[in-house]
Amino acid sequence: MNTEYREVITRAMEYGGILDAMLALQEKDGYLTGEAVEALGKAFNMFPSQVYDTATFYSMLKFEPQSITEILICRGAPCHVAGSVEVIVAIEKEIGIKIGEKTEDGRYSFDYTECLGQCQAAPAVLVNGKLHTNVTPEGITVLLRKGGPEE
């Protein structure tokens, strides 16, 4: 297991730093495992506590298994002005959890993300990595009822 992590990290180190390595490890497991953090610490000559400290700064890095449908809404100011709050309320109502939570059956998770760079078409929502812009409360409800990920 550890050698696998080391390989992934070595490959990532060719083109980038610790963040790239973290993303590569996340791609492998779906989230950053405790062993992965320790492996990163060894590779970058850091203490595990420091690696974890760094990783938790970024909301795209996860530390527990993820849900089937991941909904992320932009936290940026333009999205806020364009009405992301209403969209959040609509999504919360539709899937029955508050932002930052995960449904018990593991089907949905809902959280903020950093600016998606789509300020010209705010508010922006990512559903399983697919970008949706100019989202309205009605639009997102329809989208989620259709079955989200396929869209």
Partner 1 sequence: MEMINININGKVFSVDAESTILEAATANGIHIPTLCTIKGIDSRASCRICVVEVKGERVFQPACATKVRKGMEVDTDTLAIRKSRKTTLELLLSRHAVDCHHCLRIGNSRCDDLDPAFCEMCFFCECVKDGCCELQALAREYKVDVLPYPHENIDQKVDKSTGSIIRNSNKCVKCRRCVDVCNDIQTVHNLSIINRGSNTKIVPEMDKNMKDSPCVQCGRCVDVCPTGALFVEEHTDEVLFYTHNYGIETAALVSSNTLKKLAELFRMETPVMEAELVVAGLRKIGVDYVYTDEVVNQLSAKDGEKALLKALETEKETVIITDSYAAEKFVKQNFAKLAPKLVTYDSPQRIFSKYMKQNFAGDQNHNTSDFRLIAVTEGGENAADAYENKSVDFVIPARELYSIFIRTGVNPKKRQPLKPDSIVVSPKELPATVFFAPVEWSMEKDIKQTEFVLSGNRIKAAIATNLGQVGVLLEEVQNGNSPYRVIRINA
The nearer residue to partner 1, 30 or 149, going by C-beta atoms, is 30
Residue 47 per-residue DSSP state: -
Residue 83 per-residue DSSP state: T
H helices present in 16-146, as ranges: 18-29, 34-43, 48-55, 77-81, 84-95, 137-146
Candidates 12, 18, 24, 37; binder of partner 1 (CB under 8 A) is: 37
The nearer residue to partner 1, 44 or 139, going by C-beta atoms, is 44
**Smallest separation, CB 51 to partner 1 (Å):** 9
Strand order in the sheet with 125-127: 108-113, 69-74, 125-127, 130-132
Q: Does residue 110 touch partner 1 according to CB under 8 A? A: no
Q: Does residue 98 touch partner 1 according to CB under 8 A? A: no
The nearer residue to partner 1, 15 or 57, going by C-beta atoms, is 57
Q: Which of residues 44-63 bind partner 1 (CB under 8 A)?
A: 47-50, 52-53, 56-57, 63
Distances (CA, A) of 24 to 4, 8, 147: 12, 7, 28
Tokens 């959280």 locate to 111
Binding site for partner 1 (CB under 8 A): 34, 37, 47-50, 52-53, 56-57, 63
